Structure 1
Amino acid sequence: MNDRISSFNPIIDEQSKILILGSVPGVKSLEQQEYYAHPQNKFWTIIFELLDAEFTLNYDLKLNILKQNKIALWDVIDSCERKGSLDSEIKNEEINDIKSLLEMHPNIKAIFCNGGKSYKELVKILGKNYLIPIFLLPSTSPLHTISYEKKLNSWQIISKHL
Structure 2
Amino acid sequence: MRSSSRSDVPEAASFPPVVGHDPGILVLGSMPGVRSLERQQYYAHPRNAFWPVMAEVFGFDAALPYEARLAQLAAHGVALWDVLAQCRRPGSLDAAIERDSIVCNDFSAFLARHGGIRRICFNGATAEQLFRRHALPGLAERQLPELVRLPSTSPAHAGMVFEEKLRQWRAALAV
TM over 0.5, yes or no? yes
Kept after mapping to 1: 8 A contact 2:124/2:153: yes
Give the TM-score of the pair, scaled to structure 1.
0.93
Q: CA deviation at 1:54?
A: 2.6
Residue 5 of structure 2 corresponds to: none
Residue 106 of structure 1 corresponds to: 115
Cα deviation 1:62-111 (Å, max 9, x = unaligned): 01101111110000000000111000000121111112101111011110
Residue 126 of structure 2 corresponds to: 117
Percentage of identical aligned residues: 38
Residue 68 of structure 1 corresponds to: 75
Residue 4 of structure 2 corresponds to: none
Residue 144 of structure 1 corresponds to: 157
Q: CA deviation at 1:39?
A: 0.4
More deviation, 64-73/149-158: 149-158
Kept after mapping to 1: 8 A contact 2:94/2:126: yes
Structure 1, unaligned runs of 5 or more:
none
SS in 1 for 2:155: coil
**Residues 13-162 of structure 1 aligned to structure 2 (within 5 Å):** 13-91=20-98, 92-124=101-133, 125-126=135-136, 131-145=144-158, 146-161=160-175
Give the TM-score of the pair, scaled to structure 2.
0.87
When the two structures are aligned, how many residues end up with a matched partner?
161
- Higher CA-based Rg: 2
Cα deviation 1:33-79 (Å, max 9, x = unaligned): 00000000000000010112233241011011011111100000000
* Structure 2 letter corresponding to 1:101: F
CA RMSD of aligned residues (A): 1.6
